[in-house]
Amino acid sequence: MDIRNERLNEFEHENLIFDVIDTGPLDAPFIVLLHGFPETAKSWQATSQFLNEKGYRTFAINQRGYSLTAQPRGRHAYRSKALVEDIHQFLNILNEPVYLVGHDWGAVVAWDVALEYPEKIKHLTAVSVPHKAAFLKSMLYSNQLLKSYYMGLFQLPKVPEFIFEKLPKLGQALLKSTGMTEQQLQDFQTDMVDGKRMSSALNWYRGLPFSSNKNLNKKVTVPTLFIWGKHDSAVAAKSIQFNKDYIDAPYTEIILDATHWIPAQNAQQLSELILQDIEKY
């Protein structure tokens, strides 16, 4: 396949087929976009459109559990190494360094990809979620542990599915309290609940006990942009203060007047910030 002459709408890894939304000029620089929970690659639509108009080709990937043909059984299949290797396989297909952008869980994966395979990354943009070590350290010095209550809830068997599928008003109220808009709530119902993605997406949380932290304090060595919203309900400000300690490369930090859901709610501003930073290098 000549990636510069045709669209890449899916790729395979470990006998799993992943969906890709490939838009923008075919011969343009590559930006890879990784979504978070509980959203799909569609959450990047507005951001992609702006980046495409500015001359970049974007690949928004439905990650493991979100692509309907990439939903392995068992929580062990959703450990961090598996999530990282999915993206590594995609980068091998592209066969050239990329600009990597991740939001929420997608940011967690993006940090790890940049740590494991820095030669594949020209520039990293992490949105809403900082380096894992900064996040964990903040639990000792802030209310981060309290803010992360849902991470424990989501590891329970069947309970979160029951809430979101059988008690939709409660599930929607929980998401609305984080700052989600009515359109995001509708998309969640359509894409995640009706689309049969809930259990496999929740396995990202259930796979946490199988995820290694052996390189927890390892520093990122590629130019990095971090963007956080000061009204974020899931990530405490203290972890943002620690973030710079885990980057051994040019680093830019921007705090927006925004919620956790920056790609969906602040797409143009996010796109402009990404371009301002990557065009320095």
For the segment 92-127, what is each residue's pLDDT rounded down to a tens digit?
999 999 999 999 999 999 999 999 999 999 999 999
The amino acid at 128: S
Question: CATH says 10-278 is which class?
Answer: alpha beta
Cα 281 to Cα 265: distance, rounded to the nearest angstrom = 27
Mean pLDDT, rounded, for 229-236: 97
DSSP state, 162? I
pLDDT of residue 165: 93
* Residues 274/51, Cβ–Cβ less than 8 Å: yes
The torsion region of residue 55 among left (phi > 0), alpha (psi -120 to 50) and beta comes to left
Task: Name 100's bridge partners.
Answer: 32, 124
pLDDT of 23 higher than 80? yes
Mean pLDDT, rounded, for 71-97: 97
pLDDT of residue 280: 87
Task: Name 23's bridge partners.
Answer: 58
Q: Read off the pLDDT band of 213 (50, 70, 90).
A: confident
What residue ranges do the domains of the chain occupy? Answer: 10-278
The torsion region of residue 193 among left (phi > 0), alpha (psi -120 to 50) and beta comes to alpha
Say what the pTM is: 0.97
pLDDT of residue 230: 97
pLDDT of residue 169: 93
What confidence tens digit (pLDDT) does each residue in 138-185 have? 999 999 999 999 999 999 999 999 999 999 999 999 999 999 999 999
Q: Read off the pLDDT band of 212 (50, 70, 90).
A: confident
pLDDT of residue 25: 97
At residue 166, what are phi and psi to the nearest 5 degrees? Answer: -105, -20
pLDDT of 1 higher than 80? no
Q: What is the mean pLDDT of the chain?
A: 96
